[in-house]
Chain A
Amino acid sequence: MKALLKIDNLNGGYYGQDIIRGVSLDIERGDFMGIIGPNGSGKTTLLRLCSRILAIRAGGIYFDKADIARMGLKEFCRKVAFVAQDISGSFSLSVAELVLMGRIPHLKRLQFETKKDLAIAEEALALTGSAGLKDKMINELSAGERQRVIIARALAQEPVLLLLDEPTSHLDIGHQIQIMDLLKKLNHRNNLTIVMVLHDLNLASAYCNRICLLDGGKISREGAPEEVLTYQNIEAVYKTIVVVNVNPVTKKPNVILVPGEK
């Protein structure tokens, strides 16, 4: 199978200073890829290069064989959607208005939303289990509800690939599982390919079929959770002692932190 997103010997970062150096990674259709690594390892930078916020300095990223730097921005956003940690600031916008923004890449300059766009936005809300929030204002939502709505907006773009930057970092464990379950469902039933940056190794282990471990802007390990999440790999990259055993329910690796002070 040809890769949906092919990252080829990529270099890039901020103001000519490369943070990502020589990263090559193939993301296949239907993948649920987790990008992990310590702070400053380049996880978010890699994601921002993939979402075209940062310019590629060397190497390339290819979506379905097309160089993303040469794609029209709107065309790109019809295929690849991005979900940030949270939306900053408080705005008196309704949930429906926010989700409808997901249709922007599908509209021409002088075109206003049609009934079809409204229907797609409502469907996205229903898929994320937030149809009941439609008429609420954004600043009335809880953090978990807001994250579902932001994912709904991304779905309204009708993407093939969804990029997420630590979408659960502001949430309690109940809401973390809710969001991860939602993403898993979209991955399975809607065949949405997912690439997400996350800090929580056990969430990555439980949900991702592939994990990419970054260290100092380079890929340290890449593969199935069992291959990547070994105590040797984690200790080498995070410089911290851990115990890895098996989650009794999922049979996936379970990382246990060990305090340095006894």
Chain B
Amino acid sequence: MNKPPSKRLWVLFLLLGAAVIFGLAQGAARIPLNELLLKENQAVLNMRLLRILAAILVGSGLSVAGIVLQAILRNPLAEPYLLGTSSGAGLSAVIAVILGVSRIYMPLAAFMGAVASIILVYALASERKRIADRSLILCGVIVSIAFSSIIVFLVSLFGNQAMHEMNWWLWGSLQVYDWKLVLLVSLPVLLGIGAIYIFAQDLNAIQLGEEEAAHLGIDTQKVKNILIMITALITASLICICGIIGFVGLIVPHMMRQVVGANHKALIPVTCLAASIFMVGCDIISRTLFAPVEIPIGVITAMIGAPVFIVLLKRGQGAAG
């Protein structure tokens, strides 16, 4: 447990570098690495680079959002989509498709839907200007279920070719072609992670309990509100470019907590790097396993994530018992 965190970070950086290079080399079109830099292959290089960048953003953003929600709700099952963001974004996008809104505006529609659903969940959960953790979780679940059923209802009513595009929302995809959109999304994601890191010591205290934190001089309601809003912003932004990618926000924080402990000053950077490696790896698998057919990335993260999670859980139980 006492390995200096900086050493771990270097190892993870090197691993991420290796994953990025491997990710650049792999793909549906088999091009040797040294030829990738040639001018005629520029488009392929560009595309792969963009995907890798998106994978890193998604991995670090969703995993840090997961860390925050797990700490402040003191619930190991908390994950970035807990507050209804995914179904809100999905519903908004479906409505946009039905209304025939141009594809260019789809990310905007998804973002607005995600933000609207968080505001709705927050409004439903607040009581006497306080937000109880349990009602927040319950309202998130209820709003998610309600929105999901409306999505299915609309899809079965208006089901057409355009709706097939919706599938990528539900299982996620890193097929992004727009540099500008990725850069635009990277802004709230990276600033959000930075802001969350400033609250690392607050998170350490809050995970012990709200009263514990208050006894250390932390205005828990205010800090909770700020942090939930930041995670919501990160999640909503990421949904715009990649749809819903499950498991990464749940398992990577848990795995890293077992490795570096629950001190958020170490946990946040280590998880960012580990989740980036995980997503770049999953992306490589999703586009090469049955190339040229691409498997939705959410399927890969779940197929790898679920067994890894169960193994870790069993090992943790063994250590505790």
A residues engaging B (CB < 8 A)? 51-53, 73-74, 76-78, 81-82, 84, 87-94, 97, 101-102, 104-105, 107, 109-110, 135, 137, 157
Contact = CB atoms under 8 A, between A and B. Distances in A.
Most-contacted residue by chain A among B74, B205, B219, B262 (CB, 10 A): B262
Given A73-B217, A91-B262, A135-B2, A110 B205 contact: no
Interface stretch (B31-39, B85-93, B207-215): B207-215
A92 B262 contact: yes
Contacts of A87: 208-209, 212
Contacts of B219: 73
Contacts of A76: 217
Given A88-B209, A109-B198, A97 B217 contact: no
B201 interface: yes
**10 nearest CB pairs, A to B:** A77-B217, A105-B217, A74-B217, A82-B215, A92-B261, A104-B216, A91-B262, A92-B262, A97-B263, A73-B217
A101 B204 contact: yes
A261 B134 CA distance: 45
B146 to A, nearest CB: 30
B2 A93 contact: no
A104 B201 contact: yes
A90 B257 CA distance: 12
Interface in B12-61: none
A104 B215 CA distance: 10
A172 to B, nearest CB: 23
Interface string B181-221: 00000000000000000100110110111011011111100
15 contacts: A73-B214, A73-B218, A74-B217, A84-B212, A87-B212, A89-B74, A91-B208, A92-B257, A92-B262, A102-B216, A104-B201, A104-B216, A105-B216, A107-B201, A135-B2
Interface residues of B, number: 25
Contacts of B208: 87-89, 91
B218 to A, nearest CB: 7
Interface string B246-282: 0000000000011001110000000000000000000
Given A78-B217, A93-B262, A104-B205, 12 more contacts: A51-B215, A53-B215, A73-B217, A77-B215, A84-B212, A91-B208, A92-B258, A93-B263, A97-B261, A104-B202, A105-B216, A105-B217
Most-contacted residue by chain B among A73, A78, A87, A102 (CB, 10 A): A73
Contacts of B2: 135
B198 A110 contact: yes
A52 B214 contact: yes
B311 interface: no
B293 interface: no
Nearest to B220: A73
Contact of A53 (B201, B202, B211): B211
B1 interface: yes
A154 B261 CA distance: 22
Contacts of B258: 92
A53 B261 contact: no
Nearest to A92: B261
A73 B222 CA distance: 12
Interface string B1-12: 110000000000
Given A88-B209, A97-B204, A104-B205, A137 B214 contact: no
Contacts of A88: 208-209
B270 to A, nearest CB: 13
A135 B3 CA distance: 12
A89 B74 CA distance: 10
Contacts of B262: 91-93
A73 to B, nearest CB: 5
Contacts of B261: 92-94, 97, 137
A101 B211 CA distance: 14
Nearest to A75: B217
Nearest to B201: A104
Interface in B130-158: none
A170 B36 CA distance: 66
Given A135-B2, A137-B261, A93 B204 contact: yes
A76 B218 CA distance: 11
A90 B258 CA distance: 12
A82 to B, nearest CB: 4
Contacts of B257: 92
A56 to B, nearest CB: 15
A53 B204 CA distance: 19
A51 B208 CA distance: 17
Given A97-B204, A101-B204, A104-B205, A137 B1 contact: yes
A152 to B, nearest CB: 14
Contacts of B1: 92, 94, 135, 137
Contacts of B218: 73, 104
A113 to B, nearest CB: 8
